[in-house]
Amino acid sequence: MTTPPDDRTFRREMATAYRSGWHFIDLVTAIPHPGDSLMVTLVGEPVVIVRDDDEDIRAYRCLRRPRGAPQPVRCAVRYGMVFVNLDQRDHQVIDKRKREADRQAVERQTAAADSLAATPRSA
């Protein structure tokens, strides 16, 4: 029995079960040189994997909107394999944690600078 792609249950299952988590794309050797790219369709979304001039591998979701800029997607290379995570909830959680950690680091630096501030000497 097949489920038509416009079925709400099918779309919900795809979003929860397959979109979340890391997905294997290909080996790093598939894009060996700077400027090389690889186009894949992952969970019904076109994704471009690119090796940039700094030899880093990056992934972008291709938007279907006119004049839409490619949206960065989390990408990781482990053991010579490229993995991609399309789940936006992970991006938001990590962004929140990073902002909180940055805020705490600034507060610690400010507190340390305040404790080391020179006190004026009386003449």
pLDDT 10s digits, 5-49: 567 777 777 767 666 778 888 999 998 898 898 988 887 788 899
* Greater model confidence, 71 or 4: 71
**Whether residue 1 has pLDDT greater than 60:** no
**Whether residue 123 has pLDDT greater than 60:** no
Q: Other CB atoms closer than 10 Å to residue 45's CB: what's the count? A: 14
pLDDT digits (tens, 9 = 90+) for 61-81: 887 666 667 788 888 899 999
Q: What pLDDT is recorded for position 49?
A: 92
Mean pLDDT of 91-109: 65
Q: What pLDDT is recorded for position 110?
A: 67
Q: Other CB atoms closer than 10 Å to residue 37's CB: what's the count? A: 13
* Greater model confidence, 103 or 118: 103
Q: How confident is the model at residue 103 (pLDDT cuts 50, 70, 90)?
A: confident
